[in-house]
Amino acid sequence: MLEIKDLKKRYGRFQALDGLSMEVGDGELYGFVGPNGAGKTTTIKIITGLLSADSGSVTIDGVDALRDRRILKQNIGYVPDFFGVYDNLKVGEYMEFFASCYGIEGLTARKRCASLLEQVKLEEKKDFYVDGLSRGMKQRLCLARALIHDPKLLVLDEPTSGLDPRSRVEFKEILKELCERGKTILVSSHVLSELSEQCTGIGLIDQGKMVMQGSMDWLLSKVNTSNPLIISVLDNRERAVAILRSHPACRPSP
């Protein structure tokens, strides 16, 4: 579905992306994980056509997306890290406005919007002002908006940061359902554990480079064995060892 090769981007003298490559297969829920400043937003802005790369390639189903912006816009739905919503519109009006931006009008638009609002569990909020929605609801509305032109690939930049725990779980459930319905999803986060349950594949980025990429199971096995925790105890050593041994996440070192 999405293939990125040797992507480079400089901001002045600062090399934000330094030869980043990654591959997202059809139907994957792909977690794009890295610390703040790693280059996630820069990568996502290039994929979505908002920023130009210095060099490298981005292909969507084999088509050069950096050259053919129309193909890119047809195929990608984007949920940015900071988004504005139009406060003086009702939820239904907001959706129909964005539908009309894609040339979807009338009954088709109303049906599409109703179906999307149902998918993000906002069908009952159709006649509410966007202004009055909670942050989690606004985030889900933004997701519905990104799906309006039925894109193959959905790209979300840290969608769960700033949400309360319940809204996070709800949001991740919706992403999983969308993936089961056939969407390919790329979602970024600076917390690996935030995505590890849902994702089929994962890419770890640091300082503008892909550090590790693969299936979630493969990655967790690597992280577990190559990154042991060293714990020093001041007292009651036997007791501490017994408690640690009883924990399901602990394994004796080889």
Ligand X SMILES: Nc1ncnc2c1ncn2[C@@H]1O[C@H](COP(=O)(O)OP(=O)(O)O)[C@@H](O)[C@H]1O
Interacting residues toward ligand X by CB under 6 A? 11, 14, 16, 34, 36-42
Binding-site partner at residue 52 among ligand X, Mg ion, none, CB < 5 to 8 Å by type: none
Side-chain-facing half-sphere of 48: CA atoms under 13 Å: 22
Which runs of E-coded beta strand occur in 12-70?
14-24, 29-33, 55-60, 63-64
How many Cα atoms occupy the beta-carbon half-sphere of 177 within 13 Å?
12
Edge-to-edge strands of the sheet including 14-24? 14-24, 2-11, 55-60, 63-64
218 binds, among ligand X, Mg ion, none (CB under 5 to 8 A by kind): none
Closer to ligand X at the Cβ: 39 or 77? 39
Nearer to ligand X, 16 or 58 (CB): 16
| Of residues 28 and 157, the one with the C-beta less far from Mg ion | 157
Angle at 176 between CA 93 and CA 172, to 5 degrees: 70
**Residue 189 sits in the site that holds Mg ion (CB under 5 A):** no
Q: Is 160 in the site for Mg ion (CB under 5 A)?
A: no
In degrees and rounded to multiples of 5, residue 23 shows phi and psi of -135, 130
Closest CA to 224 of 251, 245, 197, 196: 251
Q: Given the rule CB under 5 A, which of 37-45, 57-65, 67-75, 117-125 is the region that contacts Mg ion?
A: 37-45
Q: Which of the choices Mg ion, ligand X, none does residue 1 contact, using the CB cut-off of 5 to 8 A by kind?
A: none
- The one of Mg ion, ligand X, none whose footprint includes residue 37, by CB under 5 to 8 A per kind, is ligand X
Per-position DSSP letters for 102-150, written without gaps between them: TT--HHHHHHHHHHHHHHTT-GGGTTSBGGGS-HHHHHHHHHHHHTTT-
* Closest approach of ligand X to the CB of residue 25, in Å: 23
Residue nearest to Mg ion (CB): 41
Instruction: Indicate the residue among 196 and 207 with the shorter CB distance to ligand X.
Output: 207
CB atoms within 10 A of CB 123: 15
41 lines the binding site for Mg ion (CB under 5 A): yes
Quote the least distance from Cβ 173 to ligand X, whole Å: 24
Using the minimum distance from each CB to Mg ion, give the nearer residue, 119 or 161: 161
| Contact partner at residue 82 from Mg ion, ligand X, none, CB < 5 to 8 Å by partner kind | none
| Nearest distance in Å: CB 16, ligand X | 4
Looking at residue 230, what DSSP letter applies?
P
Q: Which of 140, 85, 94 is nearest to 118 (CA)?
A: 140
Question: Toward Mg ion, which CB reaches closer, 45 or 125?
Answer: 45
Burial class (CB in 10 A: 0-12, 13-18, 19+), 212: middle
For ligand X, the closer of residues 137 and 195 by Cβ is 195
Q: Which residues bind Mg ion (CB under 5 A)?
A: 40-41
